[in-house]
C-alpha cells in the first residue's frame, strides 16, 4: 500500500535555464519496454499505471518494471552500477571539468565530498514503438542534500578508458579515443542539477566553439516538448536495493531522467543507440554549470557494440613490423558489407598519441595489412573497424576496436591471439629476467612467464582501482595462467621470496 503522504505531495518539475538549453518535467516517457511507458516521477518503485525502475511495494506484473528489488537487470541493455561512498578508497577526480580534454583529466583515491558522492546509478536503453526513436532512461544519487550539485550523464561515441595507479604513481589518468579535443563532435551530456528546492536538467552537445577548439554547447537542432522528462525526490523515498547503506533516500538525493536520444542527437540513429554512443560516463560536480570541476565518478560503461549485427577483428603478425587484420561479420557474408579501418593512434608511455597511426594498405576490404611507423614498431596501435551494408552505405551498423600489440620485444614474431605457444620455446626467450605475458593484449586468457631467478613468488593481478582480481601464492613454477578476466587495463605484480624485490607489468585485456 502506498502511504497517503506519497500521493499528496507532488514531485517538483525541472525548470528551464535562460542561457542553456533545458527542457524537462515529470511525466511518462512513451517507451516500451517497460509496458505502459516509463514514469519519471521522483520515485524508484512503481506508483501508477506506467512502468518504473522497480515493482511497487505490493508487487506488480512482470514487464512493468526494469530491475528486481536487489537491482538485477531484467531487460536487455539495462545496467546497474555501484560506487564506493564515504570511503578514502573511492576513485575521484583530481583534475577535470565539462569542457576539458579527457586525455588531460586526472584521478586519485580519496573520499568524495558529501553532496557529490555517488553510490548507485541505474539506466537502460529502450524504444518508442510508435516512431522507432531511441530513449535513454537514467538515475543517480548523492550522499548529502545540503548545497547544490549535479550529476552528468555523458554519452561518448568513442571509448574512454581509466588508466594508471595512484598508489604507485600518485595519480591516475584517462585515455579517450575521441578525435576532436578528446571527444567526438555530437557527443552529448545530460546534466541533472539538485539543490534541495528544485532541480534543473540541461543538455549539451560537443561542437566546434568558433575559436579553433571545441566545447559543450546547446544542441544545434533544439528540443521540443515531450522529448525529455526529469524529476527528483521531493520527499524521502524507498530504495529497496540500497543506497549509502540505507533503504531510504532523503529528500533531494535522487534524480531521474528520460531523454529521446534520437531527437537530441538531431536525427535518426542507424539501428540503435549502442552503435552511435559507445561509452556512458557518469560523474558529479558541486554546482550545475559548464565551468565547475568534477568530483566523483563511476567507471565508464561500455555499451554493446552492436545489437543486431556482430563484428569482430583478429590480428596475426607476419613479421616484427607487419600484421594481417581480418574482420568477421554476422549476419551474412563479408561481401555484403563495406569496411573502413580508422586509425586512432598509438599508446606511448600509456598516453594516446593520435599522430602515430601506422598504415594500412587498403581501407575498403575485410582483411587489410597493417605496418608500423618507423621508430614506433615496439608499441601498441589502436584502430577501429566499422561496417555498413552495401544496400545502405550511409549507415554504420557496427564497429569494434582493434588493439595491435606489436611483439618486437619478444625477439620473434608470434600470433598475439593464440596463447597456446610451446612452453619450452617461450622459456628459452626469457633471458632478461623480466615478466613476460603471452599474448599481451589478450582476450582474457594468457600465460605469464616469470623470471628464471625469482624462486618462490607471490603473484597478484590488480585492476586500475587497486583491487586484487586474482592472486597466486608461493608459486614455484615458471609459468602460470590466468583466465576469464574482463576487458580493461591491469597491473601484474610479482614478489620474489628470494630477492625481496617486486616486479610489475601492465596487461591489456581486449575481449
pLDDT in single tens digits along all 511 residues of the chain: 333 322 323 333 333 332 233 344 789 999 999 999 999 999 999 999 999 999 999 899 999 999 999 999 999 889 999 999 999 999 999 999 999 999 999 999 999 999 999 999 999 999 899 988 889 999 999 999 988 899 999 999 888 888 877 877 788 888 888 889 999 998 989 888 888 666 678 888 899 999 999 999 987 655 677 888 888 898 999 999 999 999 999 999 999 999 888 887 666 555 443 447 878 999 999 875 545 699 999 988 877 655 567 888 988 887 777 888 999 998 899 999 999 998 888 877 767 788 888 888 777 899 988 888 877 777 888 888 888 888 878 777 787 888 887 655 433 333 433 333 333 333 333 334 567 776 777 777 777 777 666 677 888 887 766 678 888 887 766 667 777 787 777 778 888 777 777 777 777 776 6
- Residue carrying C-alpha cell 586526472: 106
At residue 116, φ and ψ (nearest 5 deg) are -120, 10
The SS3 call for residue 285 is strand
Residues with Cβ within 8 Å of 500's Cβ and at least 6 positions away in sequence, in order, are none
Q: In whole angstroms, give the CA distance from residue 470 to residue 463.
A: 10
Residues of the chain with CATH 2.60.40.1930: 436-509
User: Do 421 and 438 contact (CB within 8 A), yes or no?
Assistant: yes
Q: How many CB atoms lie within 10 A of CB 75?
A: 14
At residue 347, φ and ψ (nearest 5 deg) are -90, 110
Q: Cα 397 to chain center, whole Å?
A: 20
At residue 225, φ and ψ (nearest 5 deg) are -55, 145
Q: In whole angstroms, give the CA distance from residue 75 to residue 273.
A: 16
Q: How far apart are the first and last CA of the chain?
A: 46
This prediction has a pTM of 0.63
- Residue carrying C-alpha cell 578525435: 179
DSSP label at 217? Answer: E
- For residue 165, the cross-strand partners are none
The SS3 call for residue 301 is strand
Residues of the chain with CATH 2.60.40.10: 310-409
Q: Is the dihedral of CA 86, 249, 79, 240 positive or negative?
A: positive
Please list the helix, strand and coil fractions of the chain in percent, rounded to the nearest 5, in that order.
5, 45, 50
Q: In whole angstroms, give the CA distance from residue 149 to residue 215.
A: 21
User: Do 295 and 106 contact (CB within 8 A), yes or no?
Assistant: no
256-to-117, 140, 178 alpha-carbon distances in Å: 16, 7, 27
Q: In the CATH scheme, what is the code of domain 310-409? A: 2.60.40.10
Fold (CATH) for 436-509: Immunoglobulin-like (2.60.40)
Residues with Cβ within 8 Å of 298's Cβ and at least 6 positions away in sequence, in order, are 81, 82, 83, 118, 121, 282, 283
Polymer length in residues for the chain: 511
Could you tell me which of 155, 128, 403 has the C-alpha nearest to residue 303?
A: 155
Could you tell me which of 275, 298, 346 has the C-alpha nearest to residue 119?
A: 298
H/E segment holding residue 263: helix 261-265
Amino acid at each position: 500500500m502506498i502511504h497517503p503522504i506519497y500521493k499528496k505531495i507532488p514531485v517538483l518539475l525541472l525548470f528551464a535555464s535562460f542561457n542553456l538549453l533545458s527542457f524537462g518535467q515529470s511525466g511518462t516517457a512513451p517507451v516500451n519496454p517497460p509496458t505502459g511507458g516509463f514514469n519519471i516521477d521522483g520515485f524508484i518503485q512503481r506508483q501508477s499505471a506506467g512502468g518504473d525502475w522497480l515493482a511497487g511495494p505490493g508487487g506488480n506484473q512482470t514487464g512493468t518494471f526494469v530491475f528486481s528489488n536487489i537491482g538485477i537487470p531484467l531487460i536487455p541493455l539495462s545496467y546497474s552500477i555501484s560506487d564506493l561512498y564515504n570511503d578514502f578508497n573511492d576513485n575521484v577526480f583530481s583534475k577535470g571539468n565539462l569542457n576539458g580534454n579527457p586525455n588531460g583529466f586526472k584521478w586519485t583515491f580519496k573520499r568524495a565530498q558529501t553532496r557529490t558522492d555517488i553510490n548507485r546509478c541505474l539506466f537502460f536503453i529502450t524504444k518508442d514503438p510508435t516512431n522507432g526513436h531511441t530513449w535513454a532512461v537514467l538515475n543517480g544519487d548523492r550522499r548529502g542534500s545540503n548545497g547544490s550539485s549535479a550529476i552528468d550523464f555523458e554519452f561518448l561515441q568513442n571509448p574512454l578508458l581509466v588508466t594508471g595507479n595512484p598508489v604507485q604513481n600518485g595519480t591516475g589518468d584517462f585515455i579517450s579515443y575521441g578525435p576532436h579535443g578528446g571527444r567526438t563532435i555530437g557527443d552529448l551530456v545530460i546534466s541533472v542539477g539538485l539543490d534541495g528546492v528544485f532541480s534543473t536538467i540541461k543538455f549539451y552537445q560537443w561542437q566546434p566553439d568558433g575559436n579553433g577548439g571545441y566545447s559543450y554547447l546547446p544542441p544545434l537542432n533544439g528540443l521540443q516538448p515531450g522529448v525529455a522528462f526529469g524529476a527528483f525526490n521531493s520527499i524521502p523515498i524507498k530504495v529497496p536495493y540500497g543506497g549509502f547503506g540505507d533503504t531510504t533516500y532523503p529528500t533531494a538525493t535522487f534524480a531521474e531522467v528520460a531523454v529521446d536520444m534520437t531527437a537530441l542527437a538531431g536525427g535518426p540513429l542507424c539501428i540503435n543507440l549502442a552503435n552511435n554512443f559507445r561509452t556512458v560516463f557518469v560523474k558529479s560536480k558541486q554546482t550545475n554549470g559548464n565551468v565547475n570541476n568534477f568530483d566523483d565518478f563511476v567507471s565508464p560503461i561500455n555499451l554493446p557494440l552492436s545489437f543486431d549485427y556482430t563484428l569482430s577483428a583478429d590480428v596475426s603478425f607476419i613479421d616484427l613490423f607487419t600484421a594481417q587484420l581480418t574482420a568477421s561479420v554476422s549476419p551474412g557474408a563479408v561481401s555484403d558489407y563495406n569496411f573502413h579501418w580508422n586509425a586512432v593512434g598509438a599508446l606511448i608511455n600509456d598516453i594516446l598519441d593520435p599522430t602515430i597511426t601506422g598504415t594500412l594498405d587498403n581501407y575498403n576490404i575485410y582483411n587489410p595489412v597493417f605496418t608500423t611507423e618507423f621508430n614506433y614498431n615496439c608499441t601498441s596501435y589502436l584502430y577501429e573497424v566499422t561496417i555498413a551494408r552495401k544496400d545502405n552505405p550511409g549507415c554504420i551498423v557496427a564497429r569494434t576496436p582493434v588493439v595491435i600489440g606489436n611483439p618486437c620485444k619478444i625477439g620473434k614474431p608470434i600470433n598475439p591471439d593464440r596463447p597456446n605457444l610451446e612452453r619450452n620455446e617461450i622459456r628459452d626467450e626469457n633471458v632478461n629476467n623480466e615478466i613476460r605475458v603471452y599474448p599481451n593484449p589478450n582476450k582474457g586468457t594468457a600465460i605469464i612467464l616469470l623470471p628464471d631467478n625469482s624462486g618462490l613468488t607471490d603473484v597478484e593481478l590488480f585492476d586500475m582501482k587497486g583491487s586484487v582480481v586474482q592472486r597466486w601464492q608461493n608459486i614455484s613454477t615458471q609459468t602460470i595462467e590466468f583466465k576469464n578476466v574482463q576487458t580493461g587495463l591491469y597491473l601484474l605484480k610479482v614478489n620474489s621470496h628470494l630477492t625481496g624485490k617486486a616486479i610489475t607489468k601492465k596487461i591489456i585485456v581486449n575481449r
